[in-house]
Structures are given as structure tokens and as C-alpha cells.
Amino acid sequence: MSETPDFVGDHDIDQTTLDIIESTLSNTRYEMDRVVETTAISPVIREQSDQFPLIADAEGRMVMGQFGSAIDTILANSAFEREDLADGDVIATNDPYMCAGAVSHTPDMLLLRPIFYEGDLMGFSSQWGNLMDVGGKTPGSMPVQARTIFEEGMRLPPVKLYKGGEIDDELLESFAHNTRLPEHAEADIKALAAGTKAAETRIHELCDRFGKATYVEACDAILDRTRDGMIDLIHEFVPEGERYTFEDYVDDDGLGNGPIKLHLEIYREGETVYLDWTGTDAQVPGTVNFLLNEKMFKMFTGVFLIMAFDPLLTFNDGYYDLFEVTLPEGSVVQPKFPAALGNRLPMMARQFDVLQATFSKLIDGFSVAGSYGTSPNLVYAGTDSEGNDFQMLEILYGGIPARPGGDGLDGHSWWPMFRTVPAEYQEAYYPLSIDEYSTRADTGGAGEFRGGHGITKVYTFEEPGAITFQDDRAHTYPWGVDGGNHAQTSKKTLVRTDGTEEELPSKVENVAVEAGDKLVFSTAGGGGLGDPLERDPAVVAREVRRGLISESAARTEYGVVLDEGGVDNVATEDQREELHRTRDEPPAFDYGPLPDDETLEARIAAERREFAERHD
């Protein structure tokens, strides 16, 4: 754990002032989010918090935030020069190819505000959020069957939405006019702009209090302090010389192509860590391609090390020169324009899995299992019996993997700040009812530390319409590690009013539903860590009582035998001895009962053909 120094290296700033400025910027990040959440009207932002803030210095380096905004790329792809920026300007874009993947599909709208103080550029604030709709071939603008980004809605290149504090109403109206929910688009975009304004206000206050020279020095010191801390983490936890690799797969691209391999190699030379995605599969025709921003991946890598080993360290652009990244052009992590990108979330989440698995190999005593593998989403849209159009978009969650010293979280988002849309909200504003929202027992991988369980959510549709959704981990299992078991896969079942049931693929587009039809949406769990026979029997018994583990799984996976009083200690000891004696040596990584690649490929292609025959 790094210690806060009493002085700040070569920087002309005292420790107390630096801490005040850093804490203010950290709090401002959360204030930006709160402004957006209370101003936007779409549930995916207002209720689920699908928005991300950033505060950068005048060079465009992120000092505080969650995602890099590729500010240099945005300005380079605009029709104006950096010198043309003025106080009150706000740049808007939702084109992933124009911002190097800082936003990764068209529904994500990014607003970037240059911040001036006494005529000098002090830095930038940005905020992006997931709009409910930006046009394209399907409601929600995430079509499964798109083959180019041109089918995924309106793309706005980097343009000034606000000029000198005045909004360009014609530009905003033109963009909103091309969406299915123009009022939502307009309100949410203005909310994002308000979020960037909150950062400007706080930075002005810091400059008023400490002077602009001190503020600039503080930004440099924050970046350098993070860099120094990252050097310490690299030296302590990333061994030099040996190369470590890992592979995992996204199921498919929604068009019958899959499985899709991600391959990562990590090694260190001196203070530099190399991360090479060579060997990853080529881009696919479908929409799961992920335009991975190089800086963003460096941020992800640093965040993994920081959150695992030094969570008091601020993550920012300060450590980016310590990582060298290879992203093969034309691969699924660096697709060529105009590849479709709308459902890139399985690829985004899987790169987290691969990253942490590779680190699990190279860091002694630190392992993390596999996750539910995406951020599932569901769109339900149509016209109700009174002639009113409706469109719901929801992000769902699954099992977070077990990690050293702790179980994975049940039904949780990859992004810590995300929340669930309340059932009451959905039932009040959309023609549906939520019949069940529950934890899927036994879906998290067994282990000394259990993987998080997936969830089951049951929707009853009250008006005719169509559903579009994407998920993953229907064919590949979230792996367990160090003796932990793999988790269970996802599943989608459509139950018609006449009682007939249809198992749906994990990615479908515009499936017609009638009033009274039900969708049972079940997500995957997270893998377990460590030998399940080492798990505390009292904890197993408690989870059986809570309905998280079945009594049969307690006996067969954990070796825990229960009686009316709780744990039968004698029978449990005998059961565990028997399981120890009869089982095979557990693998380092438990990938589940996967067939060979050719068989899995044929299964995925057949699933898509059969679905197309029923619905096309």
C-alpha cells in the first residue's frame, strides 16, 4: 500500500493544498453524475446511471474520471482547431470512429467542454451517457443483424453543440428528429451538458481560491503521484521476463458466427508492461465488434492493479506511458470502419475477463474467476391500444466472479455505480408487469469463495410489440479458477399465451410478442475460486436457508450434509472425504463441459439457422 507523502516531489505545491484540490475534483466527478441523473429523463441514465464523467487538464490528460475521452482525437476529427475553442463551447459526438472508441457505439453521446479561466484554457470536462435511441433499423439503436454502423442510427461528428454558451437549437433538433424518442434525446443531451458545467463551476472555484498556476501544478502532481504509485505496483506485482497468455471466447456475433477468440499476452521489460492482443480473431460481420480505445485499455489495466492492491490511488492518465498496447488492426478489438459496433458489450466484458485471467497467472496468490460476460440489455417497443408509441430499454446484470478473500456479487453490474431500474418505474411507464426478479440458485461457480449468481427476470407484456436483446455466455461457461468450479450459462425463454415455450438465442432482433406473452430472461453466473470443500460449512448452510444454494448442490459440490439443526458435522466430514477420494485433480481453470471448437461453431450456426426459420 502506497503512503501519502508529506511533500510532492519536484512540484511547487504543498501536500495540504494538493489533497484539497484532488479531493474536490474527486467529489466533482460524483457531482457531475448526480447533476445528470437528476436532469435526464431516460431511465437508462436517470435510474441506471449509464453515464461517465471526466475532468482533464489543458493537454487533454484525464486527471479524474472513469473513461478516457480521447480529447486529442475528437479535436483532430472536428472541423475547427484547438485555437478556435472559446469559453462556453461544448462539443458533441456519438461516432465511435471519430473518437477512437472513447464511446463505443452510437447510442453513447459524448459532450466535451473546454474550461477557461481569465482567458486561459485550464482543461476540459466531459460526460457521456447512453441515449434511449439514435435511430437506425431497430428501437434502441442496437440491432443484432446490422452489418455496418450505418444501420445503427444517426452519427454526429465532433461539432460545437454550444457556441459561446448558446445552444445550436437547429443542430439539436436535427439530431433529435432522427430518433424515435426526440424528447428523451433532447433532455438527456442537455443533462449531459449540465454535468460538464458542474465541473467548470468547481474548477473556477478552485482557481479563485488557490490561483490558476496552483491548480495547473496540482493537476500535474496528481498525474505524477499516480504514475509513481503505478511504478511501485508494477515492480511489486508484475514479474519481469516471463510471458503470460490467456484466451477466452465470446459466444457469437448474433449472425451465427462464433465462437470468437480473444487472446492476450502480458510481459514486463523494465518499468514498461506490454499487452499484446495479437492472436485475437478478426472482426466479424455482426455487431459485437469492440473498437477498443488504446488509452481506455491502459486505464482498465491500471484500474485492475489499483483496485486490487492500492485502492487509495487515483486512476488517471498519469501512468499511460508505463503500458504499451498492441491492438491488431482488423480484429474484433480494433475493427475497421464501417464495422457494426452496436452490441460490443460481450467483447468489452470479455476483455476484462481475459485481462484479469492473465494477471491471475502472473501474480502469485492472486486469482480472479470468469464473469457473466456482458451487460445484457432488453428493448421492448410498440404502439399501445390507445395509439401511443412506447419504447423501454433496460440493462440487466449477472454474476460477478469470486476474487481472493471474497465471494462474487449476485446479480450485479460490471460497473460499480450502475443500478437496477425499479419494477415500479417500469410498470408505471411501460405496458408490462414484472412477475419475478430473483437470484438464480446454484448458477455461481462453487468454490471456497463462491461466484456470484445470475438473475432471472420475468416480464409479462401487456401490449403487442417487439423485443430486441443481447446477452452472451449461453454456450461458453464463466470459468472457475484454482479449484473453483465454472458458473452456469444464460438462458432466454419466450412463453406464449397458449403455454408454448421457445428457447431463444442470446441475441435476437425484433421478435414479435403479443399481449400476455412472457419473457424469462436468465443471466449467467460468475466462476468460483478455490476448493469448494474448503468453504465454511456454516456459510453453505446459511446460503441453503436463503435459497442461494440447493441442498443437493451443498452435498455434491461443497460436501456439506444438512439436518434439521443445520450442518451434520459427522456426515459432512465423511462426504468431504469421499469427494476428495473420488474426484479428479481440479484444473487451474475450469472452463466447463465445452465441446471442441468445430462442434461449438456448428452448434452456434445451427441455432441461428433454426431461429431464422421460425422468425424470418
109-127 confidence digits (pLDDT tens): 999 999 999 999 999 999 9
Please report the pLDDT score of residue 24 as a whole number.
98
Contacts by 603-607, CB closer than 8 A, 24 or more apart: 603/475, 604/251, 604/252, 604/256, 604/257, 604/258, 604/259, 604/475, 605/256, 605/257, 607/256, 607/505
Measured CA to CA, the distance from residue 329 to residue 311 in angstroms comes to: 33
pLDDT > 90? residue 75: yes
Closest CA to 334 of 375, 300, 274, 294: 294
To which H or E segment does residue 357 belong?
helix 345-362
Question: Percent of the chain, pLDDT > 90?
Answer: 90
Closest CA to 390 of 45, 132, 144: 132
Closest CA to 472 of 215, 214, 290: 290
CB atoms inside a 10 Å sphere around CB 409: 19
Instruction: Tell me the residue type at 353.
Output: D
CB atoms inside a 10 Å sphere around CB 5: 11
Q: What is the largest CA-CA distance in the chain?
A: 78
Q: 330 and 86 in contact (C-beta within 8 Å)? A: no
pLDDT > 60? residue 300: yes
Please report the pLDDT score of residue 4 as a whole number.
47
Mean pLDDT of 130-155: 97
Residue 597 banded pLDDT, cuts 50, 70, 90: confident
Measured CA to CA, the distance from residue 419 to residue 48 in angstroms comes to: 5
CB atoms inside a 10 Å sphere around CB 342: 29
Measured CA to CA, the distance from residue 148 to residue 265 in angstroms comes to: 30
Measured CA to CA, the distance from residue 334 to residue 353 in angstroms comes to: 18
Whole-number Cα distances in Å, 495 to 376, 521, 608, 612: 20, 11, 19, 18
Mean pLDDT of 147-171: 98
To which H or E segment does residue 373 belong?
none
Closest CA to 396 of 410, 413, 409: 413
> What is the pTM for the complete model shown?
0.94
- Taking only the tens place, the pLDDT of each residue in 172-213 is 999 999 999 999 999 999 999 999 999 999 999 999 999 999
pLDDT > 70? residue 34: yes
Closest CA to 201 of 55, 417, 52: 55
Measured CA to CA, the distance from residue 92 to residue 52 in angstroms comes to: 15
Measured CA to CA, the distance from residue 222 to residue 243 in angstroms comes to: 31
pLDDT > 80? residue 415: no
Please report the pLDDT score of residue 449 as a whole number.
98
Residues 6+ apart with CB under 8 A from 351: 262, 264, 290, 292, 297, 300, 333
Mean pLDDT of 499-514: 98
- For the record, the C-alpha cell of 177 comes out as 428528429
Measured CA to CA, the distance from residue 11 to residue 382 in angstroms comes to: 59
Q: 526 and 413 in contact (C-beta within 8 Å)? A: no
What are residue 229's phi and psi, to 5 degrees?
-65, -40
pLDDT > 60? residue 243: yes
Instruction: Tell me the residue type at 117.
Output: Y
Who has greater pLDDT, 7 or 252?
252
To which H or E segment does residue 466 belong?
strand 465-470
pLDDT > 50? residue 557: yes
401, burial (CB in 10 Å: exposed 0-12, middle 13-18, buried 19+):
buried
Q: 379's torsion region: left (phi>0), alpha (psi -120 to 50) or beta?
A: beta
Q: How many CA atoms lie within 13 A of 459 on its CB side?
A: 26
Q: 70's torsion region: left (phi>0), alpha (psi -120 to 50) or beta?
A: left
Under DSSP, is residue 37 helix (H, G, I), strand (E, B) or coil? Answer: helix
Please report the pLDDT score of residue 9 as a whole number.
65
Q: 308's torsion region: left (phi>0), alpha (psi -120 to 50) or beta?
A: alpha
Q: 559 and 572 in contact (C-beta within 8 Å)? A: yes
CA 112 to chain CA centroid, Å, is: 21
DSSP 8-state symbol, 406: B
Q: 484 and 529 in contact (C-beta within 8 Å)? A: yes
Alpha helices (H) along 313-344: none
pLDDT > 90? residue 489: yes
CA 58 to chain CA centroid, Å, is: 28
Residue 36 banded pLDDT, cuts 50, 70, 90: very high
Under DSSP, is residue 412 helix (H, G, I), strand (E, B) or coil? Answer: strand
- Taking only the tens place, the pLDDT of each residue in 245-263 is 999 999 999 999 999 999 9
Q: 211's torsion region: left (phi>0), alpha (psi -120 to 50) or beta?
A: left
Whole-number Cα distances in Å, 9 to 59, 210, 220, 225, 570: 21, 19, 11, 9, 61
Whole-number Cα distances in Å, 13 to 8, 85, 218, 410: 7, 29, 7, 44
Residue 2 banded pLDDT, cuts 50, 70, 90: very low
Q: 368 and 383 in contact (C-beta within 8 Å)? A: no
Average pLDDT score over the chain: 95
- Taking only the tens place, the pLDDT of each residue in 330-357 is 999 999 999 999 999 999 999 999 999 9
436, 442, 444, 449: CA torsion to nearest 10: 130
DSSP 8-state symbol, 152: S
pLDDT > 90? residue 616: no
Beta bridge partners of 449: 529
Terminal alpha carbon distance of the chain = 57
